[in-house]
Structure 1
Amino acid sequence: MSAAIAGVFFDLDGTLADTAPDLAAAANRLVVERGRPPVAYDKLRPVASHGARGLLGAAFGLRPEDAEFPALRDIFLDYYEADIAVHTRLFDGMPQVLAALEAAGIPWGIVTNKIARFTVPLVAAIGLAPRASAVVSGDTTPHAKPHPAPLLHAAASAGVDPSRCVYVGDDLRDIQAGKAAGMITVTAAYGYCGDGDPPEAWGADHLIRHPSELIPLLMPAAIA
């Protein structure tokens, strides 16, 4: 990787922060209220990056076009909003990554498909709001990932050249968006990764299995 990295951007759910416990709790609250046994966390975690569509699909077998979906989605989102950061934490090793970027003077930011209604309070709750050079939500631009618009908006907000930026994400759409924006792409294989093709098949420039692997990858001193 070039030593001239201008900025690093992260997906939020499943890359920067482990949000699945709170998302799963909201989904299971809905499940239990309807007289069903809780859904195993291992079934809900892989789809956590896909929000209500993923969680309600795994918990109830519902699709967005199903008649029951809109009402359940609204309740689910209300439950999630009320307890958005009870168990959510940065992934192990990520605080050190952010500190290393800041020490090196490399701006970093967040680009998520989560809408601002949830992104803004969550980023504030986990203490990142004053530190991020850009926070782009799923409704910040007219297009969400895999379209490159959110990433290009983040680079513009941070005042950096997108061709000299890195995007780290745990979903195929993250890698697609990063490539379309002309950024170096890194698959966060420790994240949720969905239930489609394995992360190794996404075609990212790099793949990591723990956040700590980002430091030697990104820091100029570690680049040959």
Structure 2
Amino acid sequence: MHEILHGKRLVAFDLDGTLIDSVPDLAAALKRALRGLNLAVPVEEQVREWVGNGAPVLVERALVWAVGQPPEAHLQARAFDAFMQHYGAAPNTLTRLYPGVTKALETLHRAGFTLVLITNKPERFIAPILEHFGVKEWFALCIGGDTLSEKKPSPLPLLHAAAAFGCAPHECLMVGDSRHDIGAGKAAGFATLALPYGYNHGDPIELSHPDVVLPTLDGLIEPTGA
């Protein structure tokens, strides 16, 4: 195992941009929602830079781009409802697991680590996605962006997960792809591990100063320097 796991009991994972590349399905749902409102639609690469703060913010960013100003409340509500409907109907059509994810999760689970999922994605979408990829059984707890009163970058979801399993913050590791994950981890007192391939609004994840950066998740289960 990587040395960052020494003394750790709980490993928390982000979902979008860390375990799965969900942007193709998110972009497809967003395009359908905007077309239904007779608005311009973005390309997938634009959506990649908007993901990371939850569905309401994703829709708001798309609307700001499409109409050139912050959207009125009624437009935001219509677009959000349409997006949720379209995404809920097809959350796994184009989404893929990143390399090394299945091996890393299974190995950590078998080694006795408590695995939790902490995402800003609405809770209703989590189980269907994890079940689709056959990894749900390895997570002892899943927290969505609407599960608690606060979401990342707030440390609250991380501290909630640690407390649920009687773990002190220094016994926990946060694994993510964005500054929101790393910021939440640092604020909670967790060690932090970043992956550079996800959604970080176009900025290198190294700028968030995580404790470790690995190219793929299976590096977490390899000895340091292997």
TM-score, scaled to structure 2: 0.85
Q: Secondary structure at the match of 2:221?
A: helix
What per-residue deviation string (whole Å, max 9, x for no partner) do you get for residues 77-98 of structure 1? 1111111122222211111111
Structure 1 residues 207 and 97, CA gap change in structure 2 (3 angstroms)? same
CA positional deviation for 1:208: 2.3
Alignment correspondent of 2:108:
101
Query: Partners of 1:212 and 1:164 in 2: how far apart?
Result: 20
Q: Which residue does the alignment assign to 1:71?
A: 78
What amino acid is the match of 1:205?
A: D
What amino acid sits opposite 2:89 in the alignment?
A: A
- Given candidates 146, 154, 174, the residue that maps to 2:181 is 174
Cα distance in 2 for partners of 1:140, 1:79 equals 21
List gaps (5 residues or longer) in structure 1: none
1:92 paired residue number:
99
* Alpha carbons 2:105, 2:138 under 8 Å: kept: no
- Matched position secondary structure for 1:49: coil
What secondary structure is seen at the aligned counterpart in 2 of 1:108?
Answer: strand
User: What is the alpha-carbon root mean square deviation over aligned residues?
Assistant: 2.4
User: Is 1:10 the equivalent of 2:13?
Assistant: yes
Aligned pair 1:200/2:206, yes or no? yes
Q: Tell whether the 8 Å contact from 1:22 to 1:87 is kept in structure 2 after alignment.
A: yes
Mean CA deviation greater in 46-55 or 167-176: 46-55
Q: Is the 8 A contact 1:3 1:223 kept in 2?
A: no
Aligned position for 2:148: 141
Asked whether 1:49 is paired with 2:52, we answer: yes
Tell me the alpha carbon deviations over residues 12-71 of structure 1, each in whole angstroms, 9 at most, x when there is no partner: 111111111110110122244455675321221222223342255246615665342221
- Whole-angstrom CA distance in 1 between matches of 2:139 and 2:5: 22
In structure 2, what is the Cα distance between the partners aligned to 1:211 and 1:58? 30
Aligned counterpart for 1:19 among listed residues 17, 22, 36: 22
Kindly provide the amino acid, as one letter, of the partner of residue 212 in structure 1. D
Equivalents in 2 of 1:208, 1:87: separation in Å?
Answer: 25
1:40 aligns with 2:47: no
Contact 2:102 2:135 in 1 (8 A): no
CA distance in 2, matches of 1:2, 1:57: 37
Q: Which ranges of structure 2 fall in alignment gaps of 5 or more residues?
A: none
Report the 3-state secondary structure (helix = DSSP H, G, I; strand = E; otherwise coil) of the residue aligned with 1:167: strand
Q: Is the Cα contact below 8 Å between 2:176 and 2:193 reproduced in 1?
A: yes
